[in-house]
Amino acid sequence: MARVSVLQLDTRFCRVPGDVGCAESYLHDPEIIRVPCASVANIVTDQPGQIDLDPFLNAIERATGDVVVTSCGFLSPFQDQLQSITPKPIIASVLNMLSDLDVMKGADRSSVLTFDATRLVEAHFPNPYRANDFRVVGLRPNNPLRQRIEEDVPDCFDASDVVNAVVADFALAVMPTTETVILECTNLPPYKPQMRHDSNVRIIDILSAIECIAPNTIAPQYL
């Protein structure tokens, strides 16, 4: 059983069970390292070259876990740079694990549900994948979960308050031929049970990626 170090964005919004940043998502308490100045606005961008990686590199050097993951899939372009400073496995994003998780190419077969589809660009998809290999769908601007994250609302909330909106956006990612939906956003896994209620597509996310690298790490109810 591995211990996970989570490089969490510098945010205050509540992370419910199933979220990569919630301790209840794991079989063993994770190490949560808040990365200074890493706001949602600074990291969730269509210009990843402007992201300051130094705070993340510093956080990796402090990490004591067996596996290090980030709390934002938009860091996928930096997988190699983050990995270069440690022998520990690094997962910058579930997008960096698509080959390991046997995800098939083809927008008719695989979809990505992301925080903001307008900001997820070619640079976020690692070789051999390309953006047009997927049907990419974003949370709508009026989605209450997206609003909570963007506004960094610190108060606790019940996941049931936002689940209907999240599932409605998930439904837009599922076509009759869809086989797999990738949840790029690490705040979406708590809603997988409801997503699966009306669809039998395969759903993978950051928790799937962690479990692939380190079996028996994620609490089974959140896989």
pLDDT beyond 90 at 131: yes
Residue 18: DSSP 8-state: T
Task: Look up the pTM and report it.
Answer: 0.96
pLDDT beyond 90 at 186: yes
Q: In whole angstroms, what is the distance from residue 6 CA to residue 21 CA?
A: 7
pLDDT in tens, 3-28: 999 999 999 999 999 999 999 999 99
Average pLDDT over residues 187-197: 97
Residue with tokens 């270069």: 84
Average pLDDT over residues 109-117: 98
Closest CA to 8 of 39, 44, 32: 32
**Cis preceding-peptide flag for 128 (omega within 30 of 0):** yes
Average pLDDT over residues 107-121: 97
Task: State the Cα torsion 131-96-116-119 to the nearest 10°.
Answer: -60
Q: In whole angstroms, what is the distance from residue 13 CA to residue 149 CA?
A: 6
Closest CA to 114 of 189, 184, 28: 184
Q: How confident is the model at residue 155 (pLDDT cuts 50, 70, 90)?
A: confident
C-alpha separations of 77 from 108, 132, 166 in Å = 24, 17, 26
Q: In whole angstroms, what is the distance from residue 120 CA to residue 58 CA?
A: 25
Judged on CB neighbours under 10 Å (0-12, 13-18, 19+), 42 is: middle
Q: What is the pLDDT of residue 158?
A: 80
Q: In whole angstroms, what is the distance from residue 142 CA to residue 137 CA?
A: 14
Residue 50 tokens, joined: 């402007």
What the chain holds in terms of domains, given with CATH numbers, is 4-94+208-222 (3.40.50), 96-205 (3.40.50.1860)
Phi, psi angle pair for 137, to nearest 5°: -125, 135
DSSP helix/strand/coil, 163: helix
Q: Which amino acid is at 128?
A: P
End-to-end CA distance of the chain: 15
Residue 189 tokens, joined: 């896994």
Residue 58: DSSP 8-state: H
Closest CA to 51 of 60, 39, 59, 68: 39
